[in-house]
Amino acid sequence: MFSSNYYLMPKFIEYYNRADVLIAPSPQLIDRLKQEGLADRPVVYQQFWDHLVMEDFSAAIPANTHRLNFAGNPDKFAFVKEWSGEAKLHVYAAQRELANPNLVLMGWHNGIYLLDSLRQTGGLGLVWTDDPYMETYTTMNAPYKLSAYLAAGMPIVVKNNLAQAEFITQQKLGICVDNLAEAAEKAATISDDEYTLMQRNVERVGKLIRKGYFTKRALINAVMKAQLQPEG
């Protein structure tokens, strides 16, 4: 995940090459690992990390408030401090002073409190990074904040090279864009009908994430593939 740990790659490849089955978030990641020496192995793709929630969210449904929400530390995501988009950015991070009238500081929320706040705030959840190394990483990984937004029942805005972008487009879970200006414009102008359609689709996937579906499916499929491998 971090460039400072890249020197560990050979050890991980050696470890993965001992596996009967690999569980990965995307085909793109497996392709990248093969460039590092990963041998052919059966693979199960999990696609999304789960976000287990016991509480019932049925009483609250995110509304089209034309807000963009971002869960992340402004010190790690430089674009936050410079935000000047058409829609205000609601930032979920430790409370601090940021001299930017286009930001609304929501404070740091943990677990169910974050999901509940997102449902009450409404709007769209933003998955973004402006760091070149981390952006390359998101083309292969499954961002945890993506699962958090979906678990909250919130439609999303992502960059069009995110590993899950095709699925998001096909299932109408959100909007894929080229840049932050487009993200802000989409949030500010999205119609209620378009938002409602996406929110209903998100709620369907969000229920699966809240119940651990993607992890259960991956583990079951991995066990089945391992059992089907020839002995020896």
For residue range 24-39, list pLDDT tens digits in order. Answer: 999 999 999 999 999 9
Q: Mark the ranges of the chain whose per-residue pLDDT is less than 50.
A: none
- Predicted TM-score (pTM) of the model is 0.92
pLDDT for 88: 85
Query: How many angstroms separate the CA atoms of 122 and 154, rounded?
Result: 7
pLDDT for 58: 62
232 secondary structure, DSSP code: -
Query: How many angstroms separate the CA atoms of 121 and 87, rounded?
Result: 14
User: Can you read off the two tokens belonging to residue 217?
Assistant: 């499916």
Partners of 105 in the β-ladder: 91
Q: In b/e form, how buried is each residue of 148-182, taking b as 16+ CB within 10 angstroms?
A: bbbbbbbbbbbbeebbbbeebeeeebbbbbeebeb
pLDDT for 29: 96
pLDDT for 57: 65
